Structure 1
Amino acid sequence: MSDLDDIRDILGFEPYRGAPIDWEAASQALGARIPSDFRELINATGAGKIGYDTLLLQPFAINTNYDQIRRHHEWIRDLEIIWEEEKDFDPEDQTKPLIFNEPDIRPILWGASGLGFNLYWVARNDTDPSTWQIAVEPARGGQWEFHPGTATNLLLRLLRGEAASLYLRSLCTAEQHFFTPDM
């Protein structure tokens, strides 16, 4: 069974019946290829919410709360402003993870939460997107978390309680094991 099949078994979501997603246009809008596991996940679920709070974003979603492209550009703009303002701070007071100072590496948003965290790929130019790690940003301060593996693999490990995360730990509880599609 694939990670997507296991996620489907845990969350019990119905197949997505919305309009097909233009993944090529989405990749162009984000400036990078979108990992295939995420394309498969969103093709299966559409935009929606895991449990009470974790949002899966979809490129060009009609509901702007779930529009990956719009939210990505907003958050990246906000991060750039914050990181620019922090340049003169002592290094221990800066919130920008050092990895994003490396050339050709940047965050690309794919999930979010009202609890104050965002899920990103750590995108590396000219590398296979399936090799990107996942970053979790605590939007209200705190240390970023970094996780190996794909988006679907991380979600599955979180749902099973197999991945340690300060910000996403509630996903392992059975009461969070449902999916609400964005309608």
Structure 2
Amino acid sequence: MRLLCALTLCLITSYSNADIKSGVYINVDSGWSHYSAAKETNDVNDISFATRIGYQFNRNFAIEGQLVGLGFSRNLMRFTTDQEFTPSYNYGVNAVGILPINERFDLLGKLGIGRTRMESSLRAQSDYDETDANLGLALRLALGTSWGIKLESNYFNKAKVTIAMLGFDYHF
């Protein structure tokens, strides 16, 4: 464990002037999602995954498209809650404001809109898509001019889903 910590510290300090460059980037995240169902006894946690592709225009602004798997499948929900509809995934676009803290750390704020797939747990009702706004906050650590590690949280308002994720950015 100490060796892993020492190697991580060496990697982080080796890029003392790591400023993420502008241009196209991709992002892959995984983490935890929490669905706030109508009844508090039915709140559910699950694993979530996301992939994003974006364009960073300058040091302070980017726009990105996203596909977020919210982690709730209709088979899981059929056995764990009595909710008729549960969120499955979201796709949409985000405007990203970037506040540089120093050469290594950035604070990111996200405001986006997309479509959330609501799946039915009952066969008599069909699935539907809901227009959903999302808000996000992230902290990014630059590991060089191309790589970054990001800790992020997002909230999808109509779906009532909160996600917390750890991911990697690669800037081309």
TM-score, with length taken from structure 1: 0.29
Q: Per residue, is there more helix in 1 or in 2?
A: 1
Q: Per residue, is there more strand in 1 or in 2?
A: 2
TM-score, with length taken from structure 2: 0.31
Higher gyration radius (CA): 2
